[in-house]
Amino acid sequence: MKALTPREIVARLDRYIIGQADAKRAIAIAMRNRWRRRQLPPDLREEVAPKNIIMIGPTGVGKTEIARRMAALVGAPFIKVEATKYTEVGYVGRDVESIIRDLTELGVGMVRREAAQAVRPQAAEAAAERLLDILLPTGRWASARPKEEAGDDEQRRASREKLRQKLQAGLLEDRLVEVEVEEKVDLGLIGGPQQEELIGLQTMMERFMPPRRKARRAPVRDAREILIAQEADRLIDHAQVNAEALDRVQNLGVVFIDELDKITGADAKFGPDVSRQGVQRDLLPIVEGCTVGTRYGLVRTDHVLFIGAGAFTQAKPSDLMPELQGRFPIRVELKDLTAEEFVRILSEPDNALVKQQKAMLATEGVQAEFTEDGIRAVAEIAFRVNQRAQNIGARRLYTVMEKVVESVSFDAPDLPERERRVCIDAAFVRERLKSIIEDEDLAKYIL
Ligand SMILES: Nc1ncnc2c1ncn2[C@@H]1O[C@H](COP(=O)(O)OP(=O)(O)OP(=O)(O)O)[C@@H](O)[C@H]1O
Ligand SMILES: [Mg+2]
């Protein structure tokens, strides 16, 4: 875990999320607190509970994005769930624990990828040898031959070296080779509700049923990756990976519970849905701290960070059951984004929409330039449509932008050389959107 200071975390978040300073600060403090906790002596460390957060704000203003980015920043396993999912038919209380199982699954995948990355140089070396074995099938028997064939032996070594050079020079990338791939037995058991008993079954099957082997033909470029993955898998200490993953889930894991506001308030008088109060009761143990069985071992949720989110227009956080309220002591409000912030969202973040569009068109050899007034026009139109139709926050920028570039996007591959520069200015934007803006009903459908 990188020990970023709150200030550093906010600075990193600033590269992706515009505005919402309060939410960024709260998240940054929560993350730093976990690092602080780990510096404490063990007995005190156990006493410090995470300060869970509720993010309150309208749709599309960055609630999920802030939480997700923050988790990625510090290498924390992150899962997002909708609280309302657990009110649906077919779910029973215990299924809420599957959140933790899924989080663990993600954590293991994450640590495994890191471990594979760490051994990649060795894995790549071993994979290169195996590729040579495949390309020169008799090569590996050379040393077992009688002495009189020593000349052959030398010849083989020479041709192996020649081939190695060709491989390294990238001359054989398209050559088809046959590699053996393993298929794990997947009974398709994990994932559905009521799976506690099935975890044991799946784990047992994996242990006792040998993986199915299958030959696959693939060009060298793909075969190499398959072989590297296999070699990495062999080099990784899986017990250690699992232990590390459990540790990371327990101490760094983040569960993002969306639509928390939708499980407050009075229960519906009819319908088969599990009651909202019921879901709150089900959530309580994992938020308060309990132990959940996973296929990698027991996971304690005491120090998992929970972030609740919702619009809270009808309900208030104080409508949650008291125990749950107490477990989410930090509340932050996210504000509606301004047209000015839309301008910045379009152009500033590392993944800004304008940068994305330019890069996408560049793959077709089209140079798109967005002028300042062009970007402003997109932002203002998005802002106005949000006011008149439904307010969907920054997501509106996506729909407006798509419409603006639609025809360029369609024509790009066919444009003659001299038309491969497009200047997207305010006039261009208004022209594309004119008919839609003028017709309010149409705007609702298209933007
Ligand atoms: N403040 C912001 N800065 C940059 N991009 C933003 C911002 N707010 C939203 N976005 C963009 O809009 C998209 C939707 O935002 P996000 O998923 O965070 O919404 P939300 O607040 O979680 O809404 P909902 O309540 O509907 O889940 C993001 O993927 C991001 O690209
Ligand atoms: Mg969201």
Check pocket membership of 258 for ligand 1, CB cut-off 6 A.
yes
Q: Which one, of 400, 380, 382, lies nearest residue 391 by Cα?
A: 382
The CATH 3.40.50.300 domain(s) of the chain lie at 6-111+244-333
Q: Which residues surround ligand 2, an ion (CB under 5 A)?
A: 64
Is ligand 1 within 6 A of the CB of residue 19?
yes
**pLDDT tens digit sequence for 202-260:** 677 777 777 778 888 999 999 999 999 999 999 999 999 999 999 999 999 999 999 99
Highest CATH level, class, for 339-441: mainly alpha
Give distance in angstroms: CA of 274 to centre of ligand 2: 23
What sections of 18-118 are H helices per DSSP? Answer: 21-39, 42-47, 63-74, 98-118
d(CA 155, CA 277): 77
Please state which CATH number belongs to domain 6-111+244-333: 3.40.50.300
* DSSP 8-class letter at 313: S
Average pLDDT over residues 137-150: 54
| 373 touches ligand 1 (CB under 6 Å) | no
Question: Length of the chain, please?
Answer: 447
Q: Where in the chain is the domain with CATH 1.10.8.60?
A: 339-441
27-86, pLDDT tens digit by residue?
999 999 988 998 999 999 888 888 899 999 999 999 999 999 999 998 999 999 999 888
Q: 3-class DSSP state for residue 66?
A: helix
Mutate to test the pocket of ligand 1, among 12, 386, 395, 401 (most ligand atoms within 8 A of CB): 395
Instruction: Check if 18 has its Cβ closer than 6 Å to any atom of ligand 1.
Output: yes
For ligand 1, mutation pick of 13, 56, 64, 65 (most atoms within 8 Å of CB):
65
Using the predicted structure, report yes or no on whether residue 139 has a pLDDT greater than 60: no
**pLDDT tens digits, one per residue of 295-333:** 999 999 999 999 999 999 988 999 999 999 999 999 999
For residue 313, give the ligand nearest its CA.
Answer: 1
The reply to whether ligand 1 has any atom less than 6 angstroms from the CB of 396 is no
| Separation of CA 421 from chain center | 34
Question: Which two structure tokens, joined as six digits, stand for 212?
Answer: 């199915």
